[in-house]
Chains A and B, each alone.
Chain A
Amino acid sequence: MTPGPPARYAGGPFAPMTPLNGFGLGLRPRHYRAILETRPRIDWFEVLSENYMVPGGRPLHLLDRIRERYPMVLHGVSLSVGGSDPLDRGYLRQLKALAARVQPAWISDHLCWTGVAGRNLHDLLPLPYTEEALRHVARRVRAVQDFLGRRILLENVSSYVAYRASAMTEWGFLAALCREADCDLLLDVNNIYVSAFNHGFDPIEYLDGIPPGRVRQIHLAGHDHCGDLIIDTHDAKVIEPVWRLYAEAVRRFGLVPTMIERDDRIPPLANLVRELDRAREIAAATLPRKAA
């Protein structure tokens, strides 16, 4: 994986990220036993940070046991890096403590806001893509990175609204944010597909606008097609058009660590391992074979 383009941000420097390769799954409690008993062929797990921001007990005990066997990355939903309330220092302290315990290859959250005036709507709400928002988010990403002592990854969210105030595309915003804040990207290919349908943009144009050196991880997921909108439910298999878009992403960004994210109607682990094999096959078929 090549390093990102030169950044204007003078913070850091941060230690290089731990290398992580291959194909992972989101760690879900339903699969704890199967993971420990069958040692499935999964290269790494993505852990939902908030699920383990608890004092102790079974969740942390099992997290430690699985961590002994598999590399992990942390993925949060409450950073609200685009929010207009001050950053939640208590949350950041908990995140840093969890990272010290898990030693993740990296930490990610979403390009979104989750509430204002002290509220948390527990949703990933879209930002207007304006210069003002860019400066605001970049400043906060830098503050988070300085606090955590490491570069973070931000994920593109699925969205159902776009704002009249937006002056740039989402991919243009992400590219500018990577430059301004020296952060990296978790590219959710399903979210690109969902938002492309909901807002009427070309997902290929989106991929073309993403700086390749910044994409450190890829998410794949299923969704719910409601006719007039696609809702990002993470409760179904990855559909064919998303697999095709994934192949386009691999063509542009190379063999980036890729995982399937399933949050609802979670099937047995073996089913997800089989679905993950599809990602392996597509990546292998898409990448040029190395000369012997």
Chain B
Amino acid sequence: MTRLARLQRAFQHHIDWPGAPMQAAVAPGPRADASRRLGVYAEAYRLRLVEALGNDYPALRFTLGEAGFARRMREFVEARPSRHANLRWYGAELSRHLARAAARRPLLAELARFEWALGLAFDAADAPPATVADVARIPSAGWPRLRLRLHPSVQRVELFTNAPDVWRAAVRHERRLAARRLLEPRSWLVWRKDLEPFYRALSGDEARALAFAARGWRFGRLCGGLRDIVGTDQAAPRAASLLKAWLNEGLIGAIE
């Protein structure tokens, strides 16, 4: 290892553990000693990451309050050092972290998961959405072989709490809503249309149909999958009405 690499490892270790030996490598300054000078970096590291998380998770920050949020996020920073070139992706593991670190408050992990999904929808890859007119051009005999490609921003999120309601109250109305656990999980759709992230609840059959589409099933097979849920008579009309709604909402990126 080069002298430069050794110095950098020692410095990084000192940022992680501000008591670690490093002062001897630092020249004295005109007004501040080595400990004070090094301390600027250790503190700035934590502040910067907590601030970035606050930008990615505004509803979680509001829900926890500034002090509570800073405490929880500092725990995350200590547990999960960044390995991302881009700070944009640093918060990806927060929900998983909170599921363990705040297991008694499942709302926190689910709120984080929901906010992260909205963020992913915000800057997911672009794709011009397919339209009803695109499908109308296809002869009906060809429909069973159609394959729907969901827009890159489309995500399905299954939640056991009222996290979307808590998010809405916090971000739209600056109001704290009490956490509520559901008896059954609820599926939510998150996506982007016209550059804006959207979300809405999914019914059971629609959630399954979207899952089929996400797996790349052809439309005929998707109808077959729906048959088990809504019955033989309703499968085709239900699939057709879902397809129309998805096209109108910009959920379909391409039809093959």
Q: Which residues of A contact B (CB under 8 A)?
A: 50-51, 53-61, 78, 83-84, 88, 90-91, 94, 113, 115-123, 125, 127-128, 130, 132-133, 136, 160-166, 198-200, 227-229, 231
Listed from nearest, the 10 A-B pairs whose CB atoms lie closest are: A56-B126, A84-B5, A200-B30, A55-B125, A57-B123, A54-B123, A228-B31, A228-B32, A91-B85, A160-B40
The residues of B that contact A119 with a CB separation of less than 8 Å are: 12, 81-83
Is B2 a contact partner of A132 (Cβ separation < 8 A)? yes
The A-contacting residues of B in range 75-116, CB under 8 angstroms, are 81-88, 90
Task: Give the number of A-B contacts (CB < 8 Å).
Answer: 142
User: What is the distance, in angstroms, from B79's C-beta to the closest C-beta of chain A?
Assistant: 14
Counting CB contacts under 8 A, is B49 at the interface? Answer: yes
B141 is an interface residue with CB less than 8 A from chain A? no
Whether B40 and A57, one on each chain, are in contact in the complex, defined by CB atoms closer than 8 angstroms, is no
Q: Is B4 an interface residue (CB 8 A)?
A: yes
Q: Mark B135-166, 1 if CB is under 8 A from A, else 0.
A: 00000000000000000110000000000000
Task: State whether A56 touches B125 (Cβ < 8 A).
Answer: yes
Report yes or no: B85 in contact with A198, Cβ–Cβ below 8 A: no
Knowing that A198-B37, A229-B37 touch, tell me 6 more A-B residue pairs with CB under 8 angstroms: A57-B124, A57-B126, A123-B45, A161-B26, A161-B27, A198-B29
Is B48 on the interface with A (CB-CB < 8 A)?
yes
Q: Are B85 and A120 in contact (CB under 8 A)?
A: yes
Please, which residue of chain A has its CB at the minimum distance from the CB of B9? A116
Is B44 at the interface (CB under 8 A from chain A)? yes
Selected contact of B3 from candidates A57, A160, A165, CB within 8 Å: A165
DSSP majority for the B interface?
helix
Decide if A163 touches B7 in the complex (CB within 8 Å): yes
Option from B26, B48, B88, B192 in Cβ contact (under 8 Å) with A164: B26
Please report the C-alpha to C-alpha distance between residue A61 and residue B44 in the assembled complex, in whole angstroms. 32
Q: Is the CB of B122 within 8 A of A121?
A: no
On chain B, the number of residues with a Cβ less than 8 Å from chain A's Cβ atoms is 48
Pair A161/B84 contact, Cβ less than 8 Å = no
List chain B positions with a Cβ less than 8 A from chain A. 2-5, 7-9, 11-12, 15, 24-27, 29-32, 34, 36-38, 40-41, 44-45, 48-49, 52, 81-88, 90, 121-126, 152-153, 192, 195
A116 surroundings in chain B (CB, below 8 A): 5, 8-9, 12
Contacting A84 at CB < 8 Å: which of B8, B25, B44?
A: B8
A115 touching B12, Cβ below 8 Å? yes
> Could you tell me the distance between the alpha carbons of A115 and B83 in the complex, rounded to whole angstroms?
9
B27 with A163: CB separation less than 8 A: yes
- CB neighbours of A91 from chain B (8 A): 85-86
Cβ contact within 8 Å between A125 and B195: no
- Contact between B30 and A57, CB atoms less than 8 A apart: no
Residue of B whose beta carbon sits closest to that of A57: B123
Pair B45/A130 contact, Cβ less than 8 Å: no
Whether A121 lies near B83 (C-beta < 8 A) is no
Option from A54, A58, A120, A198 in Cβ contact (under 8 Å) with B82: A120
